[in-house]
A and B are shown apart, each in its own frame.
Chain A
Amino acid sequence: MKTIKLLSTCLILITTLITCTTAPRTVPPPSTTNTLPSQTTTVEKPAKVTPVVAPTPYVRYSATGSATWYQLADHGLETGSGEIYDLYGKTAAHASLPFGSRVRITHLANDESATVIINDRIQSGGSLIRVSYVVAKELKLLGQSNSQVSVTTLPPLK
């Protein structure tokens, strides 16, 4: 009886050892860096991370091109950033600048300028920037045939 008891204890020990050593091979520990679906076949759910509002990356950028502006029908619609377009907001749409970028726009024909925040994406169509109605008014773009502007990014606020 004693030998049986001893044997079974040994067996339990051995199996435990085996499972212990083999476990990591069958169930890989959740990796913080892996992104490929093939590596995340375990039942482990990725930890929920509360999104942190990242500061807008400051892209040094300067360009000239033509400006267009939004229509009344756009007022109240969602922009690419998720913000709602307001015809009196100091905002603009650009093809690539990160949302939240502050840019200085200068109307080259009259030197009027305005500071705006990029919060929308411009679709293809040849213009460099699309500004809100109130910005177009400030730049005296309305009713002008020449809508050439310069666009320069400004460093983010402290």
Chain B
Amino acid sequence: MIPIIKLFFLTGLLLMLSSSVFAAQSAEINDFIREMANRHAFNQNSLTDLFQQVKIRKSIVKLIDRPKSSSNKRILAAWDPYRAQFLTADRIEAGVNFWQQNARALQRAESAYGIPPEIIMGIIGVETIYGKNTGGYRVMDALTTLAFNSKQRADFFRKELEEFLLLAREENADPLALTGSYAGAMGLPQFMPSSFRNYAIDFDGDGKRNIWTNPTDTIGSVANYLKHRDNYGWQAGEPVIMAAQVRDQTAADTLLALEYEPKYSLQTLKEQGLLFYGDVPDNTLGILIDLKTDLGVAYWVGFPNFYVITRYNRSNRYAMAVYQLAQEIAAVYHENY
């Protein structure tokens, strides 16, 4: 999923800037339409009709193609201001209410997939404040804009556009009626079309996979995603993340240069200079997590379950925000219910 933080500020601006520069991309779009017709037996005329109703939103591209940093050095962005955006009293309260209203679906998700309710609460809270900010773009507009204007990620968005057309056909939905973020992330859990097709589920048995307005389907879909996304699935009862220390810079650099995947044991990480005192067996797999706090750089060991959260959005700050929001919501929920 793609972070939607900036969405709030930019929605108004983008509405003003939308323009139809359809002609400029028409050749490329026509090629794409032919490809879809050949590959998936779409009706070429219907697709042409559909794309003629699409509005290209140029300003979306600026949000996606950010200048790349020229050096290879990792630059740590400040964590506390990021945290402050997500761990707000309003969001925690909204989470407690959403949990209370959907307690049964969350219980079912925990018994079926092993995902603790608070982790699902953390994700839906960070993504959309439980449906409050799902994004007001037509997914067709957003994905077409990006697929034919993004310089860095056009292939990714063309693939997602293809997935979206298939999704609309499979779900019997009008592609122009489905809404999402500026990047095409949809509904309460902000699933991209490919994630929707692979992981969204009908969790209330009404025959539809509705992540736009149905909290039960959303909860089941997020749980299914966390359990089954590639090789790493959530392991019930296993730790998520624990504080650690690294006292010299060389050791920190070595540990952070390791592949970002929990494939090294605590034993190996300790041999490389990690100081970890938690009551966790040495053969447990982990990755070193660093965040730039107000006090300075602090370290944690992220366990495979932490890595699972980063599969939703590949960012330490994102996964930590989900985890900490989850803890806060759980504390208040258990105090009251």
Contact = CB atoms under 8 A, between A and B. Distances in A.
Interface residues on B, range: 20 to 34
Contacts of A84: 242-244, 277-278
A148 interface: no
Contacts, number: 47
B239 to A, nearest CB: 10
Interface in B254-286: 275-279
B293 interface: yes
B219 to A, nearest CB: 23
A88 interface: yes
Interface in B282-337: 293-296, 298-300, 324, 327, 331, 334-335
B321 to A, nearest CB: 11
A112 to B, nearest CB: 12
A26 B327 CA distance: 58
B298 A78 contact: no
B107 interface: no
Interface in A86-143: 86-90, 115, 133, 137
- Give chain A's interface secondary structure class: loop
Contacts of A90: 327, 331
Interface stretch (A10-18, A31-39, A44-52, A69-77): A69-77
Interface residues of A, number: 18
Nearest to A72: B295
Contact of A75 (B83, B245, B294, B335): B245
A71 B298 CA distance: 11
Among A82, A84, A90, the one with the most B-chain Cβ atoms within 10 Å of its Cβ is A84
A76 B275 contact: yes
B242 A72 contact: no
B255 to A, nearest CB: 13
Contacts of A88: 83, 324
Contacts of A76: 243-245, 275-277, 298-300
Interface of A: 71-72, 75-78, 82, 84-90, 115, 133, 137, 157
Interface of B: 83, 242-245, 275-279, 293-296, 298-300, 324, 327, 331, 334-335
19 contacts: A72-B298, A75-B245, A76-B245, A76-B298, A77-B245, A84-B242, A84-B243, A84-B278, A86-B243, A86-B300, A87-B295, A87-B298, A88-B324, A90-B331, A115-B335, A133-B295, A137-B294, A157-B334, A157-B335
